[in-house]
A and B are shown apart, each in its own frame.
Chain A
Amino acid sequence: MLLDIYEPGQTPLPHEGERGLAVGIDLGTTNSVVAVAREGRAEVLRDERGRALLPSVVSYGAQVVVGHEARADLLDAPERVVSSIKRLMGRGASDLKALAGVLPYELGPAAEGGMARLSIGGRLLTPVEISADILRALAARARKALGREVDRAVITVPAYFDDAARTATRDAARLAGLEALRLVNEPTAAALAYGLDSGVEGLYAVYDLGGGTFDFSLLRLEKGVFQVLATGGDTALGGDDIDHAVAERLLAERAAAGIGGVVDARLAKAALALGRIAKECLSSQDTWSGTLDAGGAPSRHSLSRAQLDELVEPLVERSIRICRQVLSDAGVPPSELGGCVLVGGSTRVPLVRRRLEEFLGRPPLGDIDPDEVVAVGAALQAEALTAGSDTLLLDVTPLSLGLETMGGIVEKIIDRNTPIPVVRAQDFTTYEDGQSAMAIHVVQGEREMVDQCRSLARFMLDGIPPMVAGAARIRVSFAVDADGLLTVSAEERVTGRQARVEVRPSYGLSEDEMASMLRESLDNAQDDMDARLLAEAKVEARRTLNAVRAALAADGALLSAGERAAIEDLASEVEAALSGADRDAVVAAAGGLEEGTKIFAERRMDRGIRAALAGRSIDRLEL
């Protein structure tokens, strides 16, 4: 079986007695939100000043500060503040070189696995660590608001996030001490928030203009089933781009007026902050004016909504083009949509709503606050996963997954918009006589050439016995789980020689790096690992115990009184071990119980087979 991908101790912490609450987290580019659902009602958790949004900004001074306070540091000490880190999730050092000069951070030497590291306030930090700091702040807020332990979460990701970015998000949760119950795509979460509130049915679209990413998804809602039919997007298009466009205009005006000197990090960040204020202001007013002040050289600026529209137009056009492509792929004309849900603060920009209305032929839905709708949906899903529910999310792969073949051409193994979880396999062969190894290069994307797709992982299948070219049968299997994470394995079918990797993305953290980060972040990392292993062993032992109890209740008559007493004794030993904290004792007692019930199991099977034979002879009589 392909899907047994967990190593001991690597599984999410299983259910174990009285657990903390599970929350929903929208880990956004610009802002993050945490919410909790109880009995189907979701509540957004606010800070002591009643604010739902936690700016996804971290300041690394003497202490690590997250949120509004960190954003305040942007003006005083920009060199130690990080914002929009989500844009760098799953990105390698080489990806970021291309962006050098554009990024408001300094890059440090890359981590071992090639993951980018930023140099901030004298520290070297990966995007995973920075995101973990934001998650810790959200968990702390939830604990304070709820007065309970919070250790599990459903975390949302853009539908268009690739495998590397998804893995990075899971790693960040682990580092923050949260079990990620499930990664849910943001548009799906938004639909869940709407669907449960109004019981809608039919085809719906979700237009999600986040801070750094754009997604457009088509879903079918039917009797509690949320089925994603198609999704598309752009990981480099977001509300931040509007802020950038406005900031560039402000800086150009300033330069034209001959005010101030060169554009440094401080001035750039001040211009960005002012650009965001102008955007927000122009969503409700027709004109805006403000002062850009950095280094004691103030400049006055003003902007009308028409001027903002002009700046935003090309970005909105790009998004509409994606909407059109997604609907066209699915063969659904815009007129067949029951509605379109808006997600993301930037969807408040009037031009966005106007263009979307022109495209759809009806106004989009914005009843739920577009900044909070994703966290609300995530919270509902967190409750559904832990407390049970009738709703069901059926999601798809956002991007095609494939392999490099001869000439750098991509052979697609799993097409985009395939329902997950999914396993697909394809056979390849050797192209040289005596070839003993085969390089497997896994890529993600829609283009035909490898260098235009995203490289996810490379590994070797070696030890292929010498054969003539074309004689070996190498089966490569791709498995995508319900979180959208990929596992790839390869097997030489003639000899059974196997190689398997859980795809750690090319730019991901290695297990060693992860382990050392965990050690640094938790004083008791070893205890944490031990607790995980113990909990896993207990879950399995409890299942064995329940199985034997059920069998005794159903087929106890197959045992003599003495045999039954012996099994009861073994069961009590398992119970005793379960009340303790000795993993070896739990495993040994459960093993003993399984061993001690073998004869019982044989008798049950014998009787079952006899019953089936008897059943068949009755069928024959009827024929």
Chain B
Amino acid sequence: MNLQHDISAEPAPAPLACWSCAGPVAPEALFCATCRVVQPPRPIDHFARLGLARGFAIDPREVERSYFSLQRQLHPDRFATRGAREKAISQAQAVALNDAYETLKGTLSRAEYLLGLGGDVPADDRTIRDPELLMEQMERRETLAGARDAAGVETCIGAAVADTMSIEAELGDAFAAGDVAAARRAALRLRYLRKLVDEARARHARLLGGE
């Protein structure tokens, strides 16, 4: 499966009608070039929404820069004195941007989204069918359950975070090599690991809070 976005294969974009002046407006335009009015969000993928090339390897600072610069133009706060329709459109734009930003900024959500674009169905949360993965998870859970104090939980978190980093690297390699099966497996491991870290952090806070 080719996960790279091939722009030259896309048909040339036909103009859409501006909702305000009814004239032609480029499909990717945020504002009408003729009457300057904000346009509704188009059904494009999250990468295109933030002006990024489709792929797993993206610079998080690039995601942020793009998100901030687009929100500066489109956030409802910029339309506080405008009419109801413009306000509603700006809100829809800001919703689409938040959705894209939330999905692409995290490695796991970005990986799952990319796999989804390639037709993958997201893994079921509650069952693990891979015996090796199952063993790994059970061992981790036993270690966490065995930790008696905050320091013990911290050790578990430290180990899990280190593993997270190495799995993220594997995930990057798998996407770079176009190996969908390896990417899917790494994403699944990462998902379980994240859940474990969240639970461990919650427990850590409880232990420190003396509850």
Q: Are A392 and B68 CB-contacts (below 8 A) given A325-B205, A384-B77? A: yes
B135 at the interface (CB under 8 A from A): no
Type the 1/0 row for A536-580, where 1 means its CB is closer than 8 Å to any CB of B: 100110011011101100110000000000000000000000000
B36 at the interface (CB under 8 A from A): yes
Tell whether, in the assembled complex, residue A605 and residue B12 are in contact, meaning their CB atoms are under 8 Å apart.
no
> Which A residues are CB-close (under 8 A) to B81?
14-15, 385-386
Complex Cα–Cα for A505 and B97 (A): 28
Q: Chain A: interface residue count, which band?
A: 35 or more
Chain B residue with minimal CB distance to A549? B35
Q: Chain B: interface residue count, which band?
A: 35 or more
In the assembled complex, the CB of B77 is this many whole angstroms from the nearest CB of chain A, namely 6
> Which A residues are CB-close (under 8 A) to B22?
547, 551, 594, 597-598, 601, 604-605
Complex Cα–Cα for A612 and B85 (A): 28
Complex Cα–Cα for A422 and B82 (A): 21
The listed residue with most B CB atoms (<10 A of its CB), out of A321, A421, A594, A615, is A421
Type the 1/0 row for A316-336, where 1 means its CB is closer than 8 Å to any CB of B: 000001001100110100000
Chain B residue with minimal CB distance to A381? B77
Q: Are A3 and B95 CB-contacts (below 8 A) given A393-B77, A604-B24? A: yes
Complex Cα–Cα for A597 and B18 (A): 13
Tell whether, in the assembled complex, residue A14 and residue B83 are in contact, meaning their CB atoms are under 8 Å apart.
yes
Tell whether, in the assembled complex, residue A550 and residue B36 are in contact, meaning their CB atoms are under 8 Å apart.
yes
In the assembled complex, the CB of A6 is this many whole angstroms from the nearest CB of chain B, namely 5
Complex Cα–Cα for A547 and B80 (A): 20
Tell whether, in the assembled complex, residue B84 and residue A222 are in contact, meaning their CB atoms are under 8 Å apart.
no
A607 at the interface (CB under 8 A from B): yes
Interfacial residues, chain A to chain B (CB-CB below 8 A): 1, 3-6, 11, 14-15, 181-182, 222-223, 225, 321, 324-325, 328-329, 331, 384-386, 388, 390, 392-394, 418-423, 479, 481-482, 536, 539-540, 543-544, 546-548, 550-551, 554-555, 594, 597-598, 601, 604-605, 607-609, 611-613, 615-616, 619, 623
Interface with A: B86-94, B108-116, B182-190, which one?
B86-94
Complex Cα–Cα for A481 and B90 (A): 11
A-B contact count (CB 8 A): 151
Interface with A: B51-59, B98-106, B167-175, which one?
B98-106
> Which A residues are CB-close (under 8 A) to B20?
543-544, 547
B98's contact among A420, A597, A598, A604, by CB below 8 Å, is which? Answer: A420
In the assembled complex, the CB of B36 is this many whole angstroms from the nearest CB of chain A, namely 7
Tell whether, in the assembled complex, residue B24 and residue A605 are in contact, meaning their CB atoms are under 8 Å apart.
yes
Tell whether, in the assembled complex, residue B92 and residue A609 are in contact, meaning their CB atoms are under 8 Å apart.
no
> Which B residues are CB-close (under 8 A) to A328?
201-202, 204-205
Complex Cα–Cα for A337 and B209 (A): 20
Complex Cα–Cα for A601 and B35 (A): 13
Chain B residue with minimal CB distance to A2? B92
Tell whether, in the assembled complex, residue B91 and residue A481 are in contact, meaning their CB atoms are under 8 Å apart.
yes
B121 at the interface (CB under 8 A from A): no
Q: Are A3 and B88 CB-contacts (below 8 A) given A324-B209, A482-B94, A608-B24? A: yes
Tell whether, in the assembled complex, residue A481 and residue B76 are in contact, meaning their CB atoms are under 8 Å apart.
yes
In the assembled complex, the CB of B165 is this many whole angstroms from the nearest CB of chain A, namely 13
8 closest Cβ pairs, A-B complex: A608-B24, A616-B12, A601-B22, A547-B21, A15-B81, A385-B80, A539-B83, A550-B35
In the assembled complex, the CB of B149 is this many whole angstroms from the nearest CB of chain A, namely 16
14 of the cross-chain contacts (CB-CB < 8 Å) are A5-B88, A225-B71, A324-B209, A384-B77, A421-B98, A543-B83, A550-B21, A550-B36, A551-B23, A554-B34, A555-B34, A601-B21, A609-B14, A616-B12
